[in-house]
Amino acid sequence: MAALELAAFPQPWNRAQLASELALASSLGLLARDADGVLAGYVLFRRILDEAELLRLAVSRERRRRGLATALVERGLADLRAAGCTTAFLEVRADNAPAIAFYERGGWRFAGRRSRYYPDGIDALLYRRAVVEP
């Protein structure tokens, strides 16, 4: 996961951060592997009462634009719905147009902005989605 994280994000989480998140009882992490067992993608959510936050979503360059990210997010939302969640949130870099388009196509709706949220001064856009049947 750490290698995929490094390739996917301008400010990647390190191994310790990933392990710490996955160790939480409120964490939901889903992995997708290729037929040869290589990690192709993952999604991390954190659940708090009836809400969840999509923390991380990464897909290897070779597997992008083939539906894997959508499948990971939808499976995560289904698991969260089964656990009683009704709403999910996420933050996305304001300069990440492909990710913004992906989330908007997936039913996520703009909910606000956090100015200068990221270490490099880029704003975070907040998105919300009801956790409902697809």
Q: Is 91 a catalytic residue?
A: yes
**Of 5, 42, 91, 127, which residue is the catalytic one?**
91
Helix (H) or strand (E) holding 48: strand 39-48
Torsion sign across C-alpha atoms 101, 7, 91, 19: positive
Report the alpha-carbon distance of residue 62 to residue 93 in Å, rounded. Answer: 22
CB 78 within 8 A of CB 100: no
Residues constituting the chain = 134
Identify the CA nearest to 120 among candidates 10, 13, 9, 15.
10
**51 is known as an active-site residue:** no
* Residue in this structure with the two tokens 């040869």, named with its chain if needed: 36
Catalytic residue (choose from 5, 42, 103, 127): 103
Residues annotated as catalytic are 91, 103
